[in-house]
Each structure stands twice: as structure tokens, then as C-alpha cells.
């Protein structure tokens, strides 16, 4: 039996005249995700996009799983394709859904007829299909208000489509419709979640990671690559820039008061990341900070870091508890990677008693103690190495 995938797009419905453009972006994003699985044809009609495999041997389970991570989709259904003839429709509905219906107590049939020349109208299609299923499946009952399974029959231009359970889509907006932002990515739990949340709103990602060898290991960098691999399964391609941060961190350690190590480091991270972000055409920075989680994430500390950013800073985890962040981390399959115990540059020179209420004036004074800060920042920016991360197109 020939099967296709039916896509219901999400908030796109709100976009009025832009809708078609948004759908085109959505189709492009789906194509990118499933290109390596074989050839597919994409057709837009009303609020549905059909994805039709062009050969028999396509792994449709995998295609559905990948499309489940494409932002801008509310629902995904697999559907059987059949000839536009009532006998074929009735038989296909039974063959295709008998297993699913065998576990259901109740069902209803919904018909949509976009081809008005089809000789049966919608109520007649429901009667025919419903009657046949009831005659074949003992114990099954009709419940039009709250059925366990809704059998949908869509009679369209060329074929009829039959489907039941709709899987939830990834929600959000199609990647690429919301500009570009730059995530400051560590190997921790929070920043990959922050990246995912911003990508969900249609934003393309550039990433910056600060590595401080030999204090941080290659394994810590590999961890970041793997984490971004998980994020890119949702967000698509990510340009990762790894910055050599050792000289700056050593300068902070050598010249700044210990209680200000982390805030000063964070300020300088903002400066370096801002330059890479602007050069990459990003319009915002993203961090995984959550208010009050640690000393460097108090409202006072964030005020000190923010003033060093050349772009707006988005912190999608700001109001979330760790448990809420972990829930999303698990959902995107990042958690088990995040908890691997490699040193991040943040944990290299951790102050014993960080100042929790630094003022921007004091932070500036402290930072001014670093000799040749500007030269070190420039060198750090120049040291950035690019790695393209794309989960499904490597």
C-alpha cells in the first residue's frame, strides 16, 4: 500500500499573505532533513503539505521522525493513498487501519471532499466507510463526540488519502523565518536548551564556544560538537566557532581580584562573541543563563555582563527552574551528553567567594586591570575555528 506524509502547518496560519513564503521555507527545511533518505515530492494545498516518497524503498519511519523535528509544524499524519473510488476507499480504510482500530473502543469517520465532482458527498463517504468498518470489526462503536480514533478520508484532486492518529509536530516557526542569533554554547545542560528554544522560534543559529586548553580538554570540545549535533537535528545547520580563550582567562586570573573572575570572564565572552556574531550576520546573542542559578547569574551580575554585548542578549532559560530545563534537555536527547564530567572553561578558575552584587562601575574597573585587553580580544576572535554541524547532512 502506498503511503505518504501529511503535514499540518502551525502558527503559519497567522501569517496571512506571507503564508506561502513561510510554507516554502518549511518545505525547504523538510527537504534538507530528509534528503539523505531518498527522493520526495512536496505538494502544498490548503493548510496541508503532502510529502510523497518517489520510490518504494524509502524509510518512512525515519522520514516521519525527522520531520517531527522540523519547526513550524503542528501535526504529522501518515496516510494511505488510494484511487478515488468508493469501493477502494472503504477497503483501504479497513486494510490500513484495522490494527489501530482493533485496540480502540470507539471511532468516528471524518470526510473532506475538495474534489466536488466526486459522486459521494462528505456525509455519504462517512456512512460508507463507517458502515464497512463496523461490519468488519466486532465490538467497535461509533462515538462522534469523543472517539478513541478518528478516521479521516480526504478526497483530493488525484487521489483519496486515509489516515487516523495525528502525531504532534515540533511547533514553533520554520527555521530561517526569524533571522539569526549566536548561542554561547558550553558543554552544560542549559545552553543547548537555550539554543533549541530560540531555534524553535524560527531563528538560525551560529554558535561560539570558548575553549581553554590545556585547562580544558579535547573531550570537552567533542561534547559541545555532540550537543550541537542534537540541537541541529531540530535547528538545521549550525556554524560553530571555537575560540582559543586561554590567554584571556590567564590574564583575568593574573590581574583581576578573584571574587570577580567569573563576571569578568563573562563580560569578555560577550565582547568576543559579539564580534563573531556581528560578522556572521546575527542580530542577537543567546545564553543559557537562569536567574539566580549561580553567583554569576544574579540580576546584578547579568547587568554587568549585558553592557558588554553589542547585540541584544536573549536568555530563554531565565525564568526556568533546573528541573524544567532538564525536562527539555531530555526531550532533545542532550541530557546524557551534558552530564559527562569534562571541565568547561567556566570551572577552570572558579572563585571561592564570588561577588554576587557586583556593580558595572566596579566590573569596568576590574576589567581595566588587564593589560592589552583589546589585543587579547582581537587575537581570540582571530583564533576562532569554524566547524559546520548538521545532524542529517554530514
Residues contributing to the site for ligand ATP (CB under 6 A): 184-186, 188-191, 208-210, 269, 287-289, 293-294, 296, 344-346
On the 0-12 / 13-18 / 19+ scale of CB atoms within 10 A, 214 is exposed
Nearer to Mg ion, 181 or 345 (CB): 345
Member of 188, 236, 354, 358 binding Mg ion (CB under 5 A): 188
Interaction between residue 186 and Mg ion (CB under 5 A): yes
Nearest-angstrom CA–CA distance, 299 and 75: 39
Of 287, 89, 92, 139, the residue nearest 207 (C-alpha): 287
Minimum CB separation from ligand ATP for residue 276, in Å? Answer: 11
Contact by Cβ (8 Å): 13, 19: yes
CA angle, 176 then 181 then 183, to 5°: 125
Which of 130, 187 has the CB closer to ligand ATP?
187
The residues pairing with 111 across neighbouring beta strands, listed in sequence order, are 153
Q: Which three cell numbers stand for residue 256?
A: 583581576
185 binds, among Mg ion, ligand ATP, none (CB under 5 to 8 A by kind): ligand ATP
Residue 331, judged by CB atoms within 10 A of its CB (0-12, 13-18, 19+), counts as exposed
Q: Which C-beta is closer to ligand ATP: that of 89 or that of 269?
A: 269
From the list Mg ion, ligand ATP, none, partner contacted by residue 152 (C-beta under 5 to 8 A by kind): none
Residues 6+ apart with CB under 8 A from 135: none
Comparison of 150 and 293: residue with beta carbon closer to ligand ATP: 293
Q: Choosing among Mg ion, ligand ATP, none, which partner's interface includes residue 296 (Cβ < 5 to 8 Å by kind)?
A: ligand ATP
Q: Which is nearer to ligand ATP, 30 or 185 (CB)?
A: 185
Residue list 322-381, contact with Mg ion (CB under 5 A): 344
From the list ligand ATP, Mg ion, none, partner contacted by residue 109 (C-beta under 5 to 8 A by kind): none
**Which residues of this protein are in contact with Mg ion, per CB under 5 A?**
186, 188, 344
Amino acid at each position: 500500500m502506498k503511503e505518504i506524509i501529511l503535514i499540518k502547518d502551525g502558527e503559519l496560519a497567522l501569517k496571512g499573505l506571507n503564508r506561502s513564503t513561510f510554507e516554502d521555507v518549511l518545505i525547504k527545511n523538510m527537504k534538507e532533513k530528509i534528503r539523505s533518505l531518498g527522493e520526495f515530492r512536496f505538494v502544498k494545498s490548503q493548510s496541508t503539505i503532502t510529502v510523497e516518497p518517489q520510490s518504494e524503498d524509502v524509510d518512512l519511519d525515519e522520514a516521519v521522525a525527522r520531520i517531527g523535528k522540523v519547526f513550524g509544524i503542528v501535526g504529522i499524519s501518515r496516510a494511505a493513498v488510494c484511487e478515488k473510488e468508493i469501493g477502494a476507499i472503504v477497503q483501504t480504510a479497513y486494510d490500513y487501519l484495522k490494527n489501530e482500530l482493533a485496540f480502540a473502543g470507539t471511532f468516528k469517520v471524518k470526510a473532506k471532499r475538495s474534489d466536488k465532482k466526486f459522486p459521494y458527498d462528505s456525509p455519504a463517504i462517512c456512512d460508507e466507510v463507517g458502515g464497512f468498518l463496523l461490519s468488519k470489526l466486532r465490538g467497535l462503536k461509533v462515538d462522534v463526540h469523543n472517539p478513541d480514533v478518528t478516521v479521516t478520508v480526504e478526497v483530493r484532486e488525484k487521489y483519496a488519502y486515509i489516515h487516523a492518529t495525528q502525531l504532534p509536530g515540533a511547533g514553533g516557526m520554520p527555521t530561517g523565518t526569524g533571522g539569526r542569533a549566536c548561542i554561547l554554547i558550553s558543554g552544560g545542560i542549559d545552553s543547548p536548551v537555550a539554543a533549541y528554544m530560540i531555534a524553535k522560534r524560527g531563528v538560525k543559529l551560529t554558535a561560539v564556544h570558548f575553549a581553554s586548553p590545556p585547562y580544558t580538554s579535547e573531550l570537552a570540545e567533542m561534547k559541545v560538537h555532540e550537543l550541537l549535533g542534537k540541537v541541529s537535528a531540530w535547528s538545521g545547520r549550525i556554524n560553530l566557532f571555537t575560540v582559543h580563550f586561554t590567554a584571556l582567562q590567564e590574564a583575568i586570573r593574573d590581574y583581576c581580584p578573584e571574587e570577580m573572575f567569573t563576571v569578568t570572564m563573562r563580560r569578555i565572552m560577550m565582547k568576543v562573541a559579539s564580534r563573531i556574531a556581528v560578522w556572521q550576520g546575527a542580530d542577537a546573542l543567546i545564553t543559557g543563563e537562569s536567574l539566580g542559578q549561580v553567583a554569576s547569574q544574579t540580576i546584578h551580575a547579568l547587568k554587568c555582563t549585558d553592557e558588554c554585548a553589542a547585540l541584544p542578549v536573549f536568555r530563554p532559560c531565565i525564568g526556568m527552574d533546573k528541573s524544567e530545563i532538564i525536562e527539555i534537555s531530555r526531550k532533545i536527547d542532550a541530557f546524557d551528553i551534558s552530564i559527562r564530567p569534562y571541565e568547561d572553561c567556566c570551572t577552570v578558575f572558579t572563585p571561592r567567594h564570588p561577588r554576587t552584587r557586583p556593580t558595572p562601575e566596579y566590573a569596568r574597573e576590574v576589567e581595566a586591570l588587564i593589560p592589552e585587553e583589546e589585543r587579547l580580544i582581537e587575537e581570540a576572535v582571530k583564533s576562532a575555528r569554524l566547524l559546520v554541524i548538521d545532524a542529517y547532512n554530514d
